[in-house]
């Protein structure tokens, strides 16, 4: 089904993504990710509900949204870095300390919660992708993230940051 979807609708999906992202590489990534998600979720495709084309475009719309959100985060981080200019070196030191604290705190929470947080927050992956990979419902993954963040905050609050 993924091969058929790509053969029949790949060019159209590319044009759809390019029109929304104005970036050739990002549009190609959207098509690839759309086909991968369709392949992973192939058992959920129901031709009595929607055509293959409609289903693929629904997936593509979600992938485009993910790209736009990621692009917005990257732009915000770049703008923040430029705005701080002179404080950049002290910000780097603080960022290293924060990363160390988070890494040590992640070691103190359960494996399920750690995996949920690392994949969704740190690797910026969608809940649907991570849930599918872990073999759990999206609602279970969301619960793991919620409770994992709570455990992480508690762990970090009890830790002492070393100078």
CB 21 within 8 A of CB 65: no
pLDDT computed for residue 77 by the predictor: 54
CB 42 within 8 Å of CB 2? yes
Q: Which fold has domain 1-87?
A: Rna Polymerase Sigma Factor; Chain: A (1.10.1740)
| Fold assignment, 107-163 | Arc Repressor Mutant, subunit A (1.10.10)
Return per-residue pLDDT of the chain as tens, 163 residues.
667 888 899 999 999 999 998 889 889 999 998 999 888 888 888 889 889 999 899 999 988 888 887 777 656 555 655 655 545 545 556 666 667 777 788 888 888 998 898 888 778 889 999 999 889 999 999 999 999 888 888 887 776 544 4
Tokens of 23: 């970036």
Tens of pLDDT, residues 8-28: 999 999 999 999 988 898 899
- The predicted structure's pLDDT at residue 118: 85
Question: What confidence tens digit (pLDDT) does each residue in 96-120 have?
Answer: 666 777 778 888 888 899 889 888 8
In the chain, ranges of CATH 1.10.10.10 domains: 107-163
Which residue ranges does the chain devote to CATH 1.10.1740.10? 1-87
DSSP secondary structure string for all residues of 79-132: HHHHHHGGGHHHHHHHHHHHHHHHHHHHTTS-HHHHHHHIIIIIS---HHHHHH
């Amino acid at each position: 089904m993924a091969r058929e979807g790509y053969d029949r609708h790949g060019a159209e999906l590319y044009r759809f993504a390019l029109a929304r992202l104005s970036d050739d590489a990002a549009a190609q990534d959207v098509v690839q990710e759309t086909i991968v998600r369709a392949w992973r979720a192939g058992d959920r495709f129901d031709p009595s509900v929607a055509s293959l084309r409609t289903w693929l475009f629904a997936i593509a719309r979600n992938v485009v949204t993910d790209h736009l959100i990621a692009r917005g985060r990257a732009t915000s981080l770049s703008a923040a870095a430029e705005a701080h200019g002179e404080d950049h070196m002290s910000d780097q030191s603080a960022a290293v300390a924060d990363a160390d604290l988070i890494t040590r705190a992640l070691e103190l929470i359960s494996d399920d919660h750690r995996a949920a947080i690392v994949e969704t927050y740190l690797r910026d992956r969608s809940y649907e992708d991570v849930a599918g990979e872990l073999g759990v419902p999206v609602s279970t993954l969301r619960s793991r993230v919620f409770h994992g963040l709570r455990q992480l905050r508690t762990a970090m609050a009890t830790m002492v940051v070393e100078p």
